[in-house]
Amino acid sequence: MGTQPSRKPVFPPQIAPYIDVAAYLLDARAPAATLYLEKLLSGKELLLLTRAGQAEAKATTRWQQFFRERGYTCLVIDSIKRTGIEQVLDYLADLLRRKQALAANRGIVQTTLRMVALGVPNVGKSTFLNTLIGQRRFKTGDKPGITRGHQWVRLFDDVEILDTPGVLRDPTQLNRRKPAWMLLNLLPYDAALREEAVELLRGILSDSIWEKLRRYYKIPADKFAHDSWLELLECLAAREGRRTDSDDEIDRACRRLLRDFQRGRFGRITLEQAGQALISSPFFNQPADQA
């Protein structure tokens, strides 16, 4: 796969001074792997832990506290269920009131709050924005790369939002994080990464989730093998009556496993834990002993 990090600006840099809020959408299942802050928007960050309904609740709470302890405003949202959307609206309303008060002191009658939505491909920016504004204005889909260009939309008379294409910004971590990104459907499927992606998944599944996975695929306990990534995929292929010595069938089994994980078929799962996973964005506020 030829996925490469982009070094181009996410949006025209000349508009950065006019942005009031930089809303970064992070996948709650892997916040560290999906966070990369833009230098031009330093001090304007609003971190949104999205897809919270698919992540472990306690792990998400720990991530929220982790970010807040480092000085960031961090909210937990689920765009499909509208969880946390009112908090985002309240946050924007409060910022708008403060901006209007400052403008009034300078004799300015009309002012507009401007927010930009940022994040890696397929993290859910457009779905979040559609939920926020209460109508379908942005293209959405379950494949990376749906949003192609920049699009301004007015939320209220005095609040504007800019949607941006998903961009991979971390060249030093791209190759290391590709399996996690593919597992989360943030990158297109790549057969070359299937072993690493499945092993990553295997490493975090509890005994109870393994049992749920076995029952979901209707595999008898004495037939369920998952001691290695290949053994697991062969087991899934055999259950569907497919050849286990065919690479194409193993690949098909892998696609199904990842797709079912992405849709939450095995319950709420978090890939990264706060305080353990490395955040490599050079503009992230690290504690003094980690900076």
Q: Are residues 248 and 133 in the same domain?
A: no
* Tens digit of each residue's pLDDT (9 = 90 or more) over 29-63: 999 988 988 888 999 999 999 999 889 999 999 99
Angle at the Cα of 77 (from 173 to 176), degrees rounded to 5? 10
Q: What is the rounded (10 degree) CA torsion for 231, 241, 186, 178? A: 30
Count of Cβ atoms closer than 10 Å to residue 152 Cβ: 10
Domain that holds residue 246: 174-262
In a domain, 1, yes or no: no
Residue 123 sits in the same domain as residue 186: no
Buried b (16+ CB within 10 A) or exposed e, 25-48: bbbbbbbbbbbbbbebbeebbbbb
Whether residue 208 is found in the same domain as residue 75: no
> pTM for the full model?
0.84
Q: For 8-31, write each residue's pLDDT tens digit.
A: 556 678 888 989 999 999 999 999
Q: 10-residue block means of pLDDT along the chain (291 residues)?
A: 51 84 94 89 94 93 96 93 92 92 86 89 85 63 47 80 72 72 86 93 89 91 90 91 89 94 88 89 66 35
Looking at the structure, tell me whether residues 22 and 132 fall in a common domain.
yes
Closest Cα partner for 119 from 185, 29, 22, 42? 22
For residue range 114-138, what is the model confidence (pLDDT) as tens digits? Answer: 999 998 888 888 888 888 887 655 4
